[in-house]
Structure 1
Amino acid sequence: MLFLENIPQFLFFTGKGGVGKTSLACATAIKLADEGKRVLLVSTDPASNVGQVFGITIGNTITPVIAVGHLSALEIDPQAAAQVYRDKIVGPVRGVLPAAVVSSIAEQLSGACTTEIAAFDEFTGLLTNAAILHDFDHIIFDTAPTGHTIRMLQLPGAWSGFLEDGKGDASCLGPLAGLEKQREQYHAAVAALSDPERTRMILVARAQGATLREAARTHEELAAIGFRHQYLVINGALPQSEVGSDLLAAAVWKREQAALAAMPEILRDAPTDFVPLRPFNLVGLPALRALLVSGAVENVPTQTAVSIPAVPSLASLVDGLVGSGHGLIMTMGKGGVGKTTVAAAIALELASRGYAVHLTTSDPAAHLIETLAGSLDNLTVSRIDPHAETERYRQEVMASKGKNLDAAGRALLEEDLRSPCTEEIAVFQAFSRIIREAGKKFVVMDTAPTGHTLLLLDATGSYDREIKRKMLNTSVHFTTPMMQLQDTTLTKVLIITLAETTPVLEAAGLQLDLQRAGIAPWAWIINNSLAMAKPSSALLRQRAYNELAQINEVANKYAQRWAVIPLQAQEPVGLERLQQLIHGTTPTAQL
């Protein structure tokens, strides 16, 4: 493997959700640790599943992986990091400053901006902490899906420049109070990230058009902020030897080869490795050790056939979504499970039934237009673009708050609005604006992968608490975005997953997080099921067999309503193929 040659101290695995970053990062960490290297595996994903992969609890402290000598792991928990950050700032002033001032500081530190800064603070500390750098030969970062990662990697320069210019002393005063002390740490982090002798960026993709295009965009964005030496790993490619007489396998292989042939030019010069599709679930040490080693395909187990109950079609779920003819429908789940595809198919079906539909996304790496590849009456499509929304928010604030300020005041306000915190506020406002439309039409929202969505919901919850506090002693009727999300007559959340161990566990965790926020998921959809597609290839048949336990887990333990979408022979792109997802059959399967 080219990406494993002459490895520097820092390795970053990044890419579109669902391409296998976590599996590759874990397998690489184990391989290096088995060779006697001291390795720290770090997840920067707000919805990390590294602990699930190893079958242990890791959390927000460096934890030895007992089963693997020389390996430790850490999951950066944004909420825990935010609490530590708040305590570090508020603790020293308690009993020193008036209670009202302390309360005001704590209030300023309650939002999503603080969460982002705190997680970022931990991330840069790993790049610069002398003790950690001494204790570990390699630090491997399993990052959040691409859009969130690009944002994280831009932050050292953004915050460093922001502080260098002497900004940040207005509305972000609370969250930024601790940043000034970290100026040297941020400069050192920028130096480490931009040095190819110390840092290697590994783009992970599938042999699919969408993930390769995403990798190309990521390549350009990373190059623009200093990461010019990048490696490419094509993960989970179906070996030609598995095609045989299996029509599904043949279609998948041809589809993958066509995607590779059409690979964006910018990726062609990158050092590239191929990791073949494996027949086993990538959970547990034996599977992870086998991932980077060539091996034979396992035989299909000889146990008694397992029957899947007949399942409802996606069309029947849409019948239940229609309700009063309007409302908010949100697809949520781990990256790469097909949220965008399912959201587009549902929006298309509702529009074809004559309803007005607004299809939108909060995913920074969304591909709605590419997925639809066409237009339909009654259907409008949009995207919450963080850059565009930030500029819109800046202009609105300058036009309102800056209207009566003098030149010095306007200059100070402009500086404050250049803070990276501003983007979080702007995206939340765009989210709130769009979901208000659900009172008159259908709004179908394709959300960002789980971790990023939870941060957005955290901002929604913070706003909800603030509004309720201010309106406590008034008789004015009001509805916050969180109250809309909690209203099951208005909002229906669809959890999208794959019939694999890690996606189902993460989806179950997402459901718990939503329930704690008072949001009840309406249905689960299992996407790209091999069990329902009935392959004959030995490798695909083994993977199909492995799905059965997860499908039964969803049906019997987690979901009130559920549906299964079979793996499609053709990539579900374009109006016709999306309609096939809705109306295609999902027969009972036996293996």
Structure 2
Amino acid sequence: MTYPRFNPMNLDLTPFLFYTGKGGVGKTSTACAAAVNLADSGKRVLIVSTDPASNLQDVFEQEIQTDITDIEKVPGLFAININPEEIAEQYREKVVGPYRGLLPESAINQMEEQLSGACTVEIAAFDEFAGLLTTEKLENEYDHIIFDTAPTGHTLRLLQLPAAWSGFLEESTHGASCLGPLAGLEEKKALYKAAVHALSDYEKTMLLLVSRPDYSSLTEAVRAAKELKETGLSNQHAIINGVYTPADIEDETAQAFYQKQQEALKETESLFGERPVYQLPYVPYSLTGIDSLRWFFSEKADVTPLEEVSQTDLPGLEGFITHLSSKSAGVVMTMGKGGVGKTTVAATIAMKLASQGHRVHLTTTDPASHLSMFIKENDLSENLSISSIDPQAEVQKYRSEVLAQSKDQLDEEGMDFLKEDLMSPCTEEIAVFRAFAKVVARAEGEFVIIDTAPTGHTLLLLDASESYNQELERTAGQVPEEVKKLLPRLRDPEQTDIVVITLPEATPVLEASRLQEDLKRAELFPSWWVLNQSLSAAHTEDPILKAKGLVEQKWIERVKSKEAEQVCLLPWKSDSLLSVRTK
């Protein structure tokens, strides 16, 4: 399955171009290459990054400021770094500051935690680029303004909701997720409405959905596309970045790598529907420097020779399995961003422990039917049980409880806002958290392996001033014993092992580092990192994949020296559990 090669010069581009997609798919590289090519054609272009881990300066090989900066080697190209975390901190202080000295410190701490999640960072970033979307002078000065990272549909829906501009926020303390970040937006009402209007204008704004040719990345892109289309952002194009053409199809890893991508690409037509789809080639090195950006959209895709470096000698999962085997029971939480292989690693740990005679329960938010089939075939079901937590069912149950409790306390406008608030990603985490609490209680007599655990922010928010216990008392009448014991159990390293799963690449490692800091705020300290799907550990001889493996070394060394107490390195394999090995 092949699609036309993406080249912005062949499209009828709008003034505003938004590149979006999950971490590590190549949004920044693609956006920067588009900016360079457009500027080379005589256009005046401004590229804006709203990524907390922005690497515009690395790509352009010069410093990029928080105000508009000339790109030295490309006449007509300008860039600006918006640091959403710094803006979010200013935003938090603006909301919380007036209450310092007036409210108890515990109340201030709770307010700060409510404003520390991803929703606050996103709304703070929106606050900044809303000005760029609505400033007539900028629109007249540049032919194109390119945004690296678009707002989510959830953020746009919140900003569109009439209740968000009412006095309801100042009077209500109901709900648990995104009310806090919206506090104090009244003064921005006209600006945000104009920005949302510009986003939904088909002639002004184009959304470019960047994904990788793997099923997880593609389905995430489609989910984001649907969510954003519902808010009015309907001018959408899809870019599949990193489509691999093997140089040596006889190489076992190269063949499996190619086949895996081709199987995912077969699904694109049904997934993307009427949206135009383009592709870009798999390159084994970071796209940095103006020359590389200039030829990225051309038909050439040379492999730049890389100097050989010494391979990092790290163990597989055997060290971690040995550590767990010294116990008789406990909790293992595998955590990481989507697409890094959490489920496969969690299942591998569970099967290995079960094969050694331990009683193990594996719980996941992914459908577990294929795991059940594999375990049955290998006669491991005697020691290993599996449950699948259905987020949709848990969310529906949680929403129903909160709405039922609030219906006699809120007016129609308040209920409308609460219903929207309960559609947030935070709500899903809190709802799933309750189901996890019940499963974790089983760890008193067996190992409980949790695939995809609550984030540190969620745990802190629920722990702040015992807000979660109060919520449960309000909706259920009492706090279950397993909920009371949950946080102390998760914070005890004797009872719980936290494992961060990532890939040996720039964006996944940086995102995993931020996740670890988030966990530490909640007094949860990961002791193990797993670097998954390493091409260097696969010992491939395919020149493209081998070159990619050499690039991994920088990030493997970073994790080993700066991030993790213990590191496991797993070779690239297909997603099939039948191919997973722990050594």
Helix, strand or coil at the partner of 1:520: coil
User: 2:297 is matched with which residue: 272, 292, 296?
Assistant: 292
The residue matched to 2:493 in structure 1 has which SS? coil
**2:431 matched to which residue of 1?**
430
Report if the CA contact (8 A) 1:499-1:527 is conserved: yes
For 1:422 and 1:272, locate their aligned partners in 2 and report how far apart those are by CA, in whole Å: 30
Q: Are 1:185 and 2:186 matched, yes or no?
A: no
Q: Helix, strand or coil for the counterpart of 2:206? A: strand
The counterpart of 2:158, out of the listed 148, 155, 160, is 155
Deviates more, 1:315-324 or 1:519-528: 315-324
> Structure 1 residue 416: deviation in Å?
5.1
What residue number does 2:235 align with?
229
**Judging changes above 3 Å, is the alpha-carbon distance between structure 1 residues 296 and 170 closer, same or farther for their aligned structure 2 residues?**
closer
What is the aligned partner in structure 2 of residue 345 from structure 1? 348
Counterpart in the other structure of 2:3: none
1:330 aligns with 2:333: yes
Q: d(CA) in 1 for partners of 2:537 and 2:38? A: 38
Question: What does residue 363 of structure 2 align with?
Answer: 359
Q: Is the 8 A contact 2:84 2:121 kept in 1?
A: no
Match for residue 74 of structure 1?
81
Change (3 A) 1:287 1:417: same
**1:250 equivalenced with 2:255 (yes/no):** yes
* Structure 1 residues 273-295: Cα deviation after superposition (integer angstroms, max 9, x where no partner): 22111132335555444433443
Q: Which moved more, 1:534-543 or 1:424-433?
A: 424-433
Q: How does 1:299-338 map to 2 (within 5 A)?
A: 300-301=305-306, 303=308, 306-309=310-313, 311-322=314-325, 324-338=327-341
Kindly report which structure 2 residues correspond to 1:414-563, keeping only aligned pairs within 5 A, or say none: 414-415=415-416, 417-420=418-421, 423=424, 426-436=427-437, 437-441=439-443, 442-447=447-452, 456-467=455-466, 483-512=488-517, 514-515=519-520, 518-563=523-568
Q: Which runs of 5+ in 2 are unaligned?
A: 1-5, 376-380, 471-480
Distance 2:290 2:429 in 1: 40
Q: CA offsets, 1:479-509, max 9 Å, x none?
A: 6866544322233222223333444444445
How far 1:74 sits from its partner (Å)?
2.6
Taking every aligned residue pair, what percent have the same amino acid on both sides? 34
Distance 2:448 2:17 in 1: 40
Cα deviation, 1:59-106, whole Å, max 9, x if unaligned, reads 8x445365565322334424x333322443455x579xxx53697985
Aligned-partner SS, 2:102: helix
How far 1:139 sits from its partner (Å)? 3.1
Distance 1:531 1:342 in 2: 18
The alpha-carbon distance between structure 1 residues 302 and 195, as it changes in their structure 2 partners (threshold 3 A), is closer
Determine if contact 2:22/2:221 at 8 Å carries over to the other structure.
yes
Instruction: Say whether residues 1:394 and 2:417 are aligned partners.
Output: no
Partner residue, 1:474: none
The alignment partner of 2:581 has SS state of helix
**How far, CA to CA, are the matches of 1:302 and 1:181 in structure 2?**
56
Q: Give the distance between the partners of 1:120 and 1:187, measured in 2 at CA.
A: 13
Deviates more, 1:291-300 or 1:193-202: 291-300
- CA displacement at 1:49 relative to structure 2: 5.2
Assess, with a 3 A threshold, how the Cα gap between structure 1 residues 274 and 541 changes in structure 2: closer, same or farther.
Answer: same
Residue in structure 2 matched with residue 260 of structure 1 by the alignment: 265
| TM-score of the superposed pair, with normalisation by structure 1 | 0.77
Q: Secondary structure at the match of 1:278?
A: coil
| Distance change (3 Å), C-alpha of 1:370 and 1:233 | farther
Looking at structure 2, the residues matched to 180 and 306 of structure 1 have their Cα atoms a distance apart, in angstroms, of 57
Q: Is the Cα contact below 8 Å between 1:42 and 1:142 reproduced in 2?
A: yes
> Matches of residues 93-108 of structure 1 in structure 2 within 5 Å?
99-100=101-102, 106=108
Where does residue 140 of structure 1 map in the other structure? 146
Give secondary structure in 2 for the equivalent of 1:273. Answer: strand
Contact 2:228 2:234 in 1 (8 A): yes
Distance in structure 1 (CA, Å) of the matches to 2:341 and 2:116: 31
CA contact (8 A) 1:206 1:236 kept: yes
* 8 A Cα contact 2:207 2:237, kept in partner: yes
In 1, Cα distance between the equivalents of 2:526 and 2:188? 41
Q: Which amino acid aligns with 1:330?
A: M
Query: CA offset at residue 301 of structure 1?
Result: 4.2
Partner AA of 1:152 in structure 2: T
Q: Kindly provide the amino acid, as one letter, of the partner of residue 318 in structure 1.
A: I
**Residues 1:515 and 1:341: Cα distance change in structure 2 (over 3 Å):** same
Instruction: Give the CA deviation at 1:557.
Output: 4.6
RMSD: 4.0
Whether contact under 8 Å (1:18, 1:334) holds in the other structure is no
Tell me, in whole angstroms, the C-alpha distance in 2 between the residues paired with 1:94 and 1:207.
49
- Please tell me whether the aligned partners of residues 522 and 560 of structure 1 are also in contact (alpha carbons under 8 angstroms): yes
Is the contact between residue 326 and residue 438 of structure 1 (CA under 8 Å) also seen in structure 2? no
Moved more, 229-238 or 178-187: 178-187
Q: Deviation digits for residues 122-145 of structure 1, max 9, x if unmatched?
A: 41552444155455443333338x
Q: Runs of 5+ in structure 1 lacking a partner?
A: 362-366, 472-476, 586-591
The one-character-per-residue Cα deviations of 1:363-413 (angstroms, maximum 9, x if unpaired) are xxxx5558748464443343563x6555433332345566xx4xx757576
Cα deviation 1:5-55 (Å, max 9, x = unaligned): 232122222334432223222332343345554444444455555566556
Indicate conservation of the 8 Å contact 1:533/1:567, yes or no: yes
Counterpart in 2 of 1:194?
Answer: 200
Partner Cα distance (2:185, 2:126) in 1: 14
Per-residue CA deviation, residues 99-122 of structure 1 (Å, 9 max, x unaligned), is 536979856742335752563254
1:244 is displaced (CA, Å) by 4.7
Q: What amino acid maps onto 1:355 in structure 2?
A: R
Alignment of 1:200-239 (within 5 A): 200-239=206-245
Is the CA contact 1:33–1:68 (under 8 Å) kept in the aligned structure 2?
no
Residues matched between the structures, number: 542
Checking the alignment, whether the CA contact within 8 Å between 1:124 and 1:189 is kept in structure 2 is no
> Are the equivalent residues in 2 in contact too, given 1:484–1:491 (CA < 8 A)?
yes
- CA-CA distance at 1:236 after TM superposition: 0.8
Counterpart contact for 2:533–2:572, Cα < 8 Å: yes
